[in-house]
A = this chain, B = another copy of it.
Amino acid sequence: MGVCDSELADSWALYQRLREQTPLVQCITNYVAMNMTANVLLAAGASPAMVHSDAETGEFAALASALSINMGTPSPQWAEGMRTAITGARGAGVPWVLDPVAHAATAYRRGLVAELLALQPAAIRGNASEIIALAGAAGQGRGMDSGDSVDSAAEAAQQLARAQGCVVLVTGETDLATDGQRSLRIVGGSHLMPQVTAMGCALSALLAGFVAIARDQPLAAAVAAARVFAAAGQRAQEQAAGPGSFLPAFLDALYLLQPADLARCPATAS
């Protein structure tokens, strides 16, 4: 405890900053997540831009505050848009975040994720199975789901963070954020979150927004993103009858989030 107090104590301050600065988050994300990701960013206070074609992703990325790359529904054409975007972002010093959805499922994804990893994301967010597989260990994921717990991914996450020189956020029943040296666990959220599609994808985009407004504190950014999501999820669950009513309640909760909500979802050193 106490290791990261100065840096991490104030997720709320970062959320306030995000709302004031409304970072422009360029997303190249999967078809399932697109609408919801845009609504999550808007409700949280960021500004979304879905721009995917290599005819313009490079130019656009240089204008963005951060870039979020999600490989949920990849294709050779979209991969080309990702490459161009990342090149544009890196050239302009814009940070980018990787969401390696189901990257171990097919040979095509395995090739793509290896290529993207080499382009130095500032942060990676995935479920336990995705992070374990990314660190080179054997996991139990199947398709888009995670068959592994966050606990079982802690070591893999730290290893990956060190190897990549980036922040890793593993999400599940408990979340874990690590920069390879320090690790924090975030509790909270709702059992309904896995019943709503694309929650993790949207969190990755929000993480990009936090990275944009806290460039020199990537671990604090990851913790803040996870806590905001966990707190909004907890608040939404109190109003939701099931996964259908959960999503509108979750967006409302992001929009209406208060310090007391965040306080219910602390981050603790682990």
Contact = CB atoms under 8 A, between A and B. Distances in A.
Interface string A32-75: 11111011001100011111110110011001100000001111
A152 interface: no
A102 interface: yes
A73 B48 contact: no
Identical chains in the assembly = 3
Nearest to A41: B197
Contacts of A268: none
A32 B38 contact: yes
Given A34-B32, A102-B49, A107 B56 contact: yes
A235 to B, nearest CB: 11
A250 B244 contact: yes
Interface stretch (A2-10, A91-99, A119-127, A140-148): A140-148
A198 interface: yes
A63 B195 contact: no
Nearest to A145: B47
A73 B54 CA distance: 11
Contacts of A256: 241-242
B39 A243 contact: yes
Given A245-B249, A256-B242, A31 B47 contact: no
A251 B249 CA distance: 14
B251 A60 contact: no
Nearest to A27: B32
Interface centre among A48, A52, A53, A198 (most CB of B within 10 A): A53
A50 B76 contact: no
A29 to B, nearest CB: 9
A24 interface: yes
B52 A73 contact: yes
Nearest to A249: B244
A45 to B, nearest CB: 9
7 contacts: A31-B35, A34-B35, A39-B244, A43-B243, A53-B108, A243-B255, A244-B254
